[in-house]
Structure 1
Amino acid sequence: MLDKFGDDFNIDPEVLQSWKNEFYATRIWAPLIGKPDILFDVNVPGHVGPCLDILRQVFVECFTQTAHKVNKDSPSQKLLFHKDIPRYRKLIGPFFKRVEPVNDQAFWSEIDELSNKQKAELKFSRQLILHQIYNSFIGKYRSEIIEDFEDMEESKDLQFAKKVEEFIDLMEECSNNS
């Protein structure tokens, strides 16, 4: 799309390359590298977040066309990957040449195929999910959960602790019958 736009309006090839770099690296991949939980069902531990942020910064830097000067006061991640970035920058131009354009029909066809495949493979059951939550959390911490609701002023008037206990009893009954 950007190549076609560049050809139609006689955009300088360097400007066009900057557009591609900005769009591809900064708008698509950098957020996913820094925060994979945006797209994937993963928990990113607190100590891993800063490491992912460093990788994200290095990735974006590889797509910039101007080299940033480093010195002894530069951040450690810049110093750590400084020697590798020029090598990665050389790979960017050939990468974009190998990317094949996709028309709308092919894109949506692929999306439909993936969606249908996912529907066929994934069987969502609310009851199964509820049992999994119960077995992994509620059943283990039953007494603590009920005590917390009994101690909370907001839930005393509603008799929430009693209702939760009835719910848990019902879940246990259903688990024992299955």
Structure 2
Amino acid sequence: MWHRETGELWAFVPLSSLPLRFWVNVIKNPQFVFDIHKSSITDACLSVVAQTFMDSCSTSEHRLGKDSPSNKLLYAKDIPNYKSWVERYYRDITKMASISDQDMDAYLVEQSRLHASDFNVLSALSELYFYVTKYRQEVLSALDRDASCRKHKLRQKLEQIIGLVSSNS
């Protein structure tokens, strides 16, 4: 696939980079996005779906035989059809007109404005507190190592906040 602006040949990097870096991770780990518990059965099912997705985005042909894992055999007949969908998707993207940086910036600013009230500050603070208490020693050590953090006494301030929150809960 040719990159429009640089004129370089991308050896199907677009076919695998987005799915492997983002979507497969979201499929395999929905708890990263949603507040859910993932059972072992759900995990196994999601692994099959993720593997099928990866196979659909792969540029290499998979040879199946009697020793192939059952999860690969399950969707083997469907993979060629899925591959054609993926190829058409990227082909359609390459045909689209590029948008300018200014248009992208304007769109992001507008989206930020539209969803400014959607941010739940208390939920974000709760998640930060959970993270800080889970990795307390690592965070405090990192604050000790950084000269700017020491100058602003961030370790002491964070310990004070942890103490206040834990005494109130």
TM-score range normalised by the length of the shorter chain: 0.5 to 0.7
1:111 matched residue in structure 2:
108
Tell me, in whole angstroms, the C-alpha distance in 1 between the residues paired with 2:73 and 2:59.
Answer: 18
Matching residue within 7, 25, 37 for 1:31: 25
Tell me, in whole angstroms, the C-alpha distance in 2 between the residues paired with 1:17 and 1:92.
Answer: 15
Residue 66 (structure 1) shift: 1.7
The answer to whether 1:46 aligns with 2:39 is yes
Q: Summarize the alignment of residues 27-176 of structure 1 with structure 2, pairs less than 5 Å apart.
A: 27-38=21-32, 40-47=33-40, 48-99=42-93, 100=96, 101-122=98-119, 124=121
Aligned AA (1:4): R
Tell me, in whole angstroms, the C-alpha distance in 2 between the residues paired with 1:25 and 1:122.
Answer: 27
Residue 31 (structure 1) shift: 1.3
Q: Residue 61 of structure 1 aligns to a residue in which SS?
A: helix
Matched length: 124
The runs of 5 or more residues in structure 2 that have no matched partner are 127-165
Tell me, in whole angstroms, the C-alpha distance in 2 between the residues paired with 1:84 and 1:44.
Answer: 30
- Identical pairs, percent: 21
RMSD of aligned Cα (Å): 2.9
More relative contact order in 1 or in 2 (CA 8 Å, sep 6+)? 2
The runs of 5 or more residues in structure 1 that have no matched partner are 130-163, 169-178
Deviations 1:3-53 (A, max 9, x none): 225x523x2xxxx25211121221222112111233x23214223122112
Q: Which moved more, 1:100-109 or 1:82-91?
A: 100-109
Aligned AA (1:54): V
Structure of greater Rg: 1
Tell me, in whole angstroms, the C-alpha distance in 1 between the residues paired with 2:18 and 2:65.
Answer: 28
- The alpha-carbon distance between structure 1 residues 103 and 55, as it changes in their structure 2 partners (threshold 3 A), is farther
Aligned AA (1:112): V
- The alpha-carbon distance between structure 1 residues 46 and 92, as it changes in their structure 2 partners (threshold 3 A), is same
Q: Residue 12 of structure 2 aligns to a residue in which SS?
A: helix
Q: TM-score, normalised by structure 2?
A: 0.60
